[in-house]
Amino acid sequence: MASFLTIDGFYLAASWWNAMLYTLELVLMYRYLTDSRHTTRPCWHKVGMGLLFIFDSTCTFAIFAYVYMFVLLSPVQPPAELYDRLYGSLAAILVSSYASAAAEQLFLTYIFCALTKQRIISGIFCLAVLVHAAFSYTAAALVVKTENTFDHFTLLLSQAGAISCAITDVIIAIALTTAFLRLDTKYAVRRSMHWILRRLMIGIATGGVIVATNTLLTVVLLMKNNPAEPLFFFPQGRMYSLTVLANFLAGNLSPSNATRAQGAGGAPGTSLNSIVFRVGYTTTTMSVTDGPGQAPNGTDSASEDVVVDISPRSDLKNTRRDALALAPDSELGSSSVQLAYETKEKETISIDPEAA
């Protein structure tokens, strides 16, 4: 049995470690919300960030309150009048931590469903999330009711919730990694597509392994009554939130963004939308006072941008011919037609039209 001084030291260290991760989360969240590159993210991404902020803020302040009451107000034995507040704080930590875990798992499940269209498997993942959340929330309710964290049934429910949560993390990570490998093998025909898919595979697989390992370590230390258990239990929700934030900041997480093509020059992040033809032509001008048979006063040079939408397999020669047909009714000059690629970043890269 560890001494009270050792237990108090681990509680203080765990609260500081959690505060560091929470601060990192706030910094990354601020960067995500203010970065101009992420202004086109779906609204539900930002709503999800707001929910994670609420969950993690609640959990962090509950940890501060719990450690303050457990370590500073009662370094040896909590007085009876603090029991309600002490166990209420512990229940808040449980609920908010597993709420963050459920949010992260549902987010990854959505990505899996959007990529594979396998709704039955995605439904099984959602059911697994509900099961481990039910175990954990029931354990939190029993902690408040019995005011005893070492009640046998409460411990069983806590362990069942943590183990099922870790198993869900691992299964979802494996399923997503398999889906990305299949996409990388069958559909990634450009170098940037391989790069995006491999980055996503590494990020999601690593995140799933980290959070699952942390959860399992929490269960093992709790079963052994090890005083180091708060070091892994307190920051559990922050690790889930940081996993989601890291994937958001990595970019291209939305399934629609995951199919973006490689732009001209091999630069990742550009997408071929259309071909712009700059058609040069000449027009003749004649004064209204000129009589029949008189020579024109002069010629004017002009150009017009003709934008033709294309698919990735469009025939460039046919598209060029269509662009010429769209040119104004005038005598085409001797200047060549300029063929250019227009990307989403509004860059225009000219190429030789005859080479097309």
**72 and 206 share a domain?**
yes
pLDDT tier, 186 (very low <50, low <70, confident <90, very high otherwise) = low
Report d(CA 176, CA 164) in Å as an integer: 18
pLDDT for residue 227 is more than 70: yes
Total domains present in the chain:
2
291 and 338 inside one domain: yes
> Average model confidence (pLDDT) for the chain?
71
Whether 238 contacts 25, CB under 8 Å: yes
Enter the tokens of residue 64: 């501060």
What CA–CA distance (Å, rounded) separates 44 from 259? 20
Q: Residue 167 above 80 pLDDT?
A: yes
pLDDT of residue 336: 38
Choose the final residue of a domain: 207, 235, 260: 260
At 326 the pLDDT is: 43
* CATH classification at residue 127: 1.20.1070
Residues 186 and 227 in one domain: yes
341 versus 128: the higher-pLDDT residue is 128
Rounded to an integer, the average pLDDT of 316-344 is 41
* Residues 103, 178 within the same domain: yes
Q: In percent, how much of the chain has pLDDT > 70?
A: 59
- Is residue 170 predicted with pLDDT exceeding 70? yes
Distance CA 208, CA 211 (A): 5
pTM: 0.65
CA atoms in the 13 A half-sphere facing the CB of 171: 17
Above 70 in pLDDT, residue 131?
yes
Query: How many other CB atoms sit within 10 Å of the CB of residue 173?
Result: 23
Higher-pLDDT residue of 96, 183: 96
Q: Which of 211, 241, 260 is the last residue of a domain?
A: 260
Contact call for residues 89 and 66 (beta carbons, < 8 A)? yes
- With bands split at pLDDT 50, 70 and 90, how would you rate the model's confidence at 80? low
Q: Is the pLDDT of residue 174 over 90?
A: no
Element (H, E) at 74: none
Looking at the structure, tell me whether residues 21 and 166 fall in a common domain.
Answer: yes
Q: Are residues 282 and 248 in the same domain?
A: no
Residue 187: pLDDT band by 50, 70, 90 thresholds? low
Section 50-55 average pLDDT: 90
Asked if pLDDT for residue 257 goes beyond 50, the answer is no
Question: What is the structure's pLDDT at 214?
Answer: 87
Q: What's residue 145's pLDDT?
A: 84
Which residue range is the domain that position 132 belongs to? 4-260
Q: Where are the beta strands (DSSP E) in 247-322?
A: 272-285, 298-309
Alpha helices per DSSP H over 147-266: 152-186, 191-223, 229-233, 236-250
Q: Is the pLDDT of residue 129 over 90?
A: yes
- Residues 9, 140, single domain; the answer is yes
Answer yes or no: do 123 and 28 share one domain: yes
Q: Measuring CA to CA, which residue among 356, 281, 272, 273 is closest to residue 326?
A: 281
146-160, 173-187, 213-227, 295-309: which has the highest mean pLDDT?
Answer: 213-227
Domain boundary among 230, 260, 290: 260
**pLDDT tens column, 59-73:** 999 999 988 888 877
Comparison of pLDDT for 2 and 222, the residue scoring more: 222
255 and 111 in a common domain: yes
Residue 74: pLDDT band with limits 50, 70, 90: low
pLDDT of residue 127: 94
User: Using an 8 Å Cβ cutoff, are 199 and 250 in contact?
Assistant: yes
Q: Is the pLDDT of residue 333 over 60?
A: no
Q: 285 and 253 in one domain?
A: no
What pLDDT band is residue 342 in, cutting at 50, 70 and 90?
Answer: very low
pLDDT of residue 311: 39
Residue 162, pLDDT > 80, answer: yes
